[in-house]
Structure 1
Amino acid sequence: MGHWRDLFRSDRGRARHRVEVERRRLLPAYSGEQSQASDASKEIAKVALRLKYQIELVVSCEVEQTVLTDPNSRIITDDVVATARQAGGEDYKACVVYCLLVCLRWFKLQSSVELWDADLHDLRAVACEVIAKRIIETEQNLDYLLRDILLKRYSIYSEGVETDPANVIERSVDLHALRIISSAGYQKCIDYLWRGWICQEEGNPTNFVDYDGKSNTSYWSHFHPDRMRTPLYQNTCQIMFSLIYLAVYTAVINTVNPTGDLDVVEGILYGMTLAFICDEGIKFWKVGWNYLEFWNAFNSTLYTILVVSLALRFVALAHSSSTQDEQRQLYNELSYNFLAFAGPMFWIRMMLYLDSFRFFGAMFVVLRVMMKESLIFFALLFVVMAGFFQAFIGMAQVDADVPIQRNILQGMINSIMQSPDFDTFQEFAFPFGIILYYVFNFIVMTVLLNILIALYNSAYEDISGNATDEYMAIFAQKTMQFVRAPDENVFIPPFNLVEIVCLVAPFEWWLSREAYAKLNDFVMAIIYSPLLFFTSWLEAHQAHRIRWNRRHGEEDDDCAQEWEHVAHEVDFDLDDTWKEQVAESTPDIKVDSCTYEIRELKEQVRLLTEMVKNLTPDKGQEQEF
């Protein structure tokens, strides 16, 4: 069923449906009774508590973070990881990584509450990430890793109720656990989701299953509208429609109607805006607050400006159509001014879809963090400006001849833009006004702006030094945006208006489930057919490569590199001479130079001790003499 059916349900029916769907995803798979599900969530909560107890003992005091993240860490050893792996026993071993993320969240909450031990709790949160990453990267069974560890949804028992079920992929994105996201197994899972090799189960979109047809070389087996659930194809469609959206806006802004009437191009622009608003609203309604991020706020601002522009246009149309009507002309000009004001946002919006490329993705992370850091500057600036503005208003009111408000505000804003206007404040209760303005300029231009520069510099260093992991995190977040709000029938905006007008309203309320599903498939096959012709050819071509990889014992996504074309002609197991030379000259990178020297010294002391023992006669020989 489409997401609009869920939207029209009552709150009680919606909650009951969500609980029933989520309960099927609990570990282990019971018949669905509440007591059994509660028992499973309680056991998972116990696993999380065991891991929390272990990490508190392992990281019992503050140390350098590099000591924990070092691959050869003396704290997070192989024994520690093996013990953590056994926290769930045989029945709940698959949920250990999920429980480590639960502990990660607990330690972060503890860090914000217990400020006196904040650094220690932050280190324990890092330990959770390190252990989880090592468990993921050491798991040899890929199917078990993807199906049970990363994608299976779990829930814990907290405060008498079960938490919302979630999987490791979702929790890692929500908690911004970079070390887990950058692990090899996690990235392989994201890649499979992005390509559509792992997709949502038919009838239960909260569950993930393998796409069985990925090795099918038949062209028409891939020509199915369900393949539009693939994030890669959805992203491609969004880029295409965004380019069309930008082209329509360009046509509208360059062809102003003096009469204020709406033409066809403007109708398309506002119709597409309505489709995007509906899509954003539905995703937020399904995902919740975790869906909100920088680009959602940016898009919402753009859509709000367009809605205001359309409202002003309607107000203008309500007046007389005569060209002499000043009110109609005024509201019409305001409407176009709002529309033109959104021009930069239309072009910047295109960058939203470029974050799937590594170069742009890393830079967008830097910009996003800088914008968040700017909140500190603007909070301080608001307080400072409010105080000085009130002082200038008070001085101006003493002398009624001095203009106030607009000139004062403009002069203060010019100071922020490093273009102060001292002449405006010369007459403000001389010499108090000009002195106060000098103080204001010093605080804003010397203190606050330098604080902003320092914040930007710190944010850039933090992100650019970890740009690769940040890119992988933003790519994982983008992938989850497509699969986290499941919908059996994917109608990408503006096609969601087709679903609302042509399917939901006239048919969904009376057609049977099977008939409505067939109708949706028929409509989706028509509107997506140009793209499906290309995607089917692409998937059929990939199927040949997948079969070749399976015949040679390789993974499905393996690609032969340049050095692998002649690798089959070289066998280092038979070349004993070269193998021995390499083994003799290869250093042990797991041991630092100091430890290596100590081991050598220890071996020499041992040999010297044996030599001394051999030279010293034993007591039996001394008695004979």
Structure 2
Amino acid sequence: RGWLVQDEDDPTRFVDYKLKTSTSYWDHLDPDRMRAPLYQNALQVFISILYLGFYTGAINTINPTGDLDIIEGLLYIFTLGFLCDEIAKFWKVGKYYFGFWNSFNNTLYALLTVSFVTRMIALGHHVGDSNRNKFNELSYNFLAFSAPMFWCRLLLYFDTFRFFGTMLVVLKVMMKESLIFFALLFFVSIGFLQAFVGLDQEDQKLDATNFIIQSMINAVMGSPEFSGFDNFAPPFGLILYYIFTFIVIVLLLNILVALYNSAYEDITEHSIDEYMALFAQKTCQFVRAPDENVFIAPFNLIELVFLVLPFEWWMDKDSYERLNDYVMAVIYSPLLLVTAALETRVAYRVRFNRSRGETDEDTIEEWEQMDGECDFEGDGWVKKCEETKPNVESDGTLVQIKELRKEIEELKEMLRSLKG
């Protein structure tokens, strides 16, 4: 709901939103309200659906001449914004930012980048040129190839819903469990591949490698082809293929199913806990540094081109912050008009509840029901969070110097004790 905001004095702490009870519409029409995770998530979902719409329009309206239309242009602009956002986050966070969904998204963006580059190469040739048609067709092939990833990408933004969130946790655990299966499959496949290649070299010719690899892949996918091995080094080739098929389909695939079943049962038994952990992680991703402006991709391109490059390096901090507020107010004005009305409506309900001596919110969330059951201080979570929380107020170099000074003081104390 955005009722908790970062404390201006201590950005690592969150305090109640002071204007929560304000019934003035204009008090809530503030671009800084975009810091609320709820609004950022809603905007990301809308942008993702719009992004998918641009892709659908681009793939269903193929231009025979290879020229870029408005829909394709917007698609590639959005992709550039997402790429810049990924690069910026990886630059700030480092290797710990890299995960499954980052790899998934980066693969999608890489395919779209290849599609765009091949389209530019096609535009470099004259209309009617065979090379123009070839690269144009290749560009559309890469674009069409990425369709499943576009739709799966929506799951990343639907994880705030319990069903999708729980299923994503199950999927993540299953992917980890799959590593055991693929490790076993790798060694088994290498052994049988070497055996088949050895049988193929019996006549001093290595001419069945493609057939062997394709047949082994078909066996892994559950569609083995035995007919081709009747005349392949009989009877050894057919016997080996029977053994390989038995090991893969009967043993390894059943092991994989058992691993998936175990992972699914473990997650569904603690579905609420898993969902709440994912929800908390999702919320923390929207928390930003106090001096960081909220420009959600692809609006980050506006910040980069029209604010950072021309103004940030010479404008004073207050003026630059005010300029960013003006730009965000214009960009997010449609959403802010809606959120301000919703917050004003909620403010009336909060005042009504307080007048009756009740809590501000009528709905009791699940994590609020467990408030009395969790002893964060006794379990050591408070101390652990204090030790691991980043210092966002001081420069990173200054923090390291302070830690080094502290260690030097401890070393001096140890030397004094040894001398004494």
Return the TM-score normalized by structure 2: 0.82
Instruction: State the percentage of identical aligned residues.
Output: 61
Question: Is structure 2 residue 272 aligned with structure 1 residue 460?
Answer: no
Question: For 2:11 and 2:136, how far apart are their aligned partners in 1?
Answer: 46
Answer yes or no: is the 8 Å Cα contact 1:200–1:208 preserved in 2. yes
Q: Which amino acid in 1 is paired with 2:202?
A: V
In 2, are the aligned partners of 1:362 and 1:471 still within 8 Å (CA)? yes
Q: How far apart in 1 are the matches of 2:304 and 2:217?
A: 47
Work out which of the residue numbers 50, 57, 69 in structure 2 matches 1:244: 50
Contact (CA 8 Å) 1:402, 1:427: kept in 2 or not?
no
State the partner residue of 1:425: 229
The alignment's C-alpha RMSD in Å is 2.2
Please name the residue that 2:70 is paired with: 264
2:128 aligned partner: 323
In the aligned structure 1, how far is the partner of 2:288 from the partner of 2:306?
26
1:239-388 map, 5 Å? 239-318=45-124, 320-325=125-130, 327-388=131-192
1:215 aligns with 2:17: no
On the 8 A contact 1:356/1:475 being kept in 2, the answer is: yes
TM normalised by structure 1 equals 0.56
Contact 1:546 / 1:557 at 8 angstroms: preserved in 2?
yes
SS in 2 for 1:209: strand
Q: What are the residue-to-residue correspondences of 1:30-45 with 2, within 5 Å?
A: none
Aligned counterparts, 1:447-526, within 5 A: 447-483=251-287, 488-526=292-330
After superposition, the C-alpha distances for 1:55-105 in whole angstroms (9 at most, x for unaligned) are xxxxxxxxxxxxxxxxxxxxxxxxxxxxxxxxxxxxxxxxxxxxxxxxxxx
Query: Which has the greater radius of gyration?
Result: 1
Where do residues 144-183 of structure 1 align in structure 2 (5 Å cutoff)?
none
Please tell me whether the aligned partners of residues 225 and 524 of structure 1 are also in contact (alpha carbons under 8 angstroms). yes
Per the alignment, residue 200 of structure 1 pairs with: 6
SS at match of 1:377: helix
In 1: Cα distance, 2:90 partner to 2:45 partner: 21
Could you tell me how far apart the structure 1 residues matched to 2:290 and 2:63 are? Answer: 42
Deviation at 1:494, TM superposition (A): 1.1
1:435 aligns with 2:234: no
* Greater relative CO (CA pairs within 8 A, separation 6+): 2
SS at match of 2:5: strand
**Structure 1 contact 291–481 (Cα < 8 Å) conserved:** no
Shift in CA distance, 286/249, structure 1 to aligned 2, threshold 3 Å: same
State the alpha-carbon separation in 2 of the partners of residues 392 and 560 from structure 1: 64
Structure 2 contact 193–213 (Cα < 8 Å) conserved: yes
- For 1:196-223, what per-residue CA distance to the aligned partner results, in whole angstroms no more than 9, with x for missing partners? 2112245875553332111111110010
Match of 1:565 in 2: none
Cα deviation, residue 434, structure 1: 1.3
- 5+ long unaligned stretches in structure 2: 366-420
2:364 & 2:8 partners in 1: Cα distance? Answer: 34
1:309, CA displacement in angstroms?
1.7
User: Partner amino acid for 1:222?
Assistant: H
Provide, for residues 390-420 of structure 1, a one-character-per-residue CA deviation record: whole Å limited to 9, x for no partner: 2222322333677423221111111011110
For the residues of structure 2 that align with 1:511 and 1:487, how far apart are their CA atoms? 15
Cα separation, 2, equivalents of 1:400 and 1:248: 55
Cα drift, residue 474 of structure 1: 1.0
Residue matched to 2:385: none
| Cα separation, partners in 2 of 1:454 and 1:560, compared to 1, 3 Å | closer
Inter-partner Cα distance in structure 1 for 2:9 and 2:144: 45
Do the aligned residues in 2 keep the contact of 1:259 with 1:321 (CA within 8 Å)? no
Q: Report the CA distance shift for 1:501/1:371 in structure 2 as closer, same or farther (over 3 A).
A: same
CA contact (8 A) 1:312 1:331 kept: yes
Structure 2 CA distance, aligned partners of 1:395 and 1:560? 69
1:505 Cα offset (Å): 1.2
Gaps of 5+ in 1: 1-194, 562-625
In the other structure, the counterpart of 2:197 is 393
Task: Tell me, yes or no, if the aligned pair for 1:283 and 1:485 is still in contact at 8 Å.
Answer: no
- Name the CA distance, whole Å, in 2 between partners of 1:215 and 1:332: 58
Aligned in 2, Cα 1:485/1:381: closer, same or farther, shift over 3 Å? farther
Q: Hey, what's the Cα distance between the residues in 1 that align with 2:95 and 2:253?
A: 32
Looking at structure 2, the residues matched to 238 and 398 of structure 1 have their Cα atoms a distance apart, in angstroms, of 60
Match of 2:357 among 553, 556, 569: 553
Count of matched residue pairs: 365
Paired residue secondary structure (2:26): coil
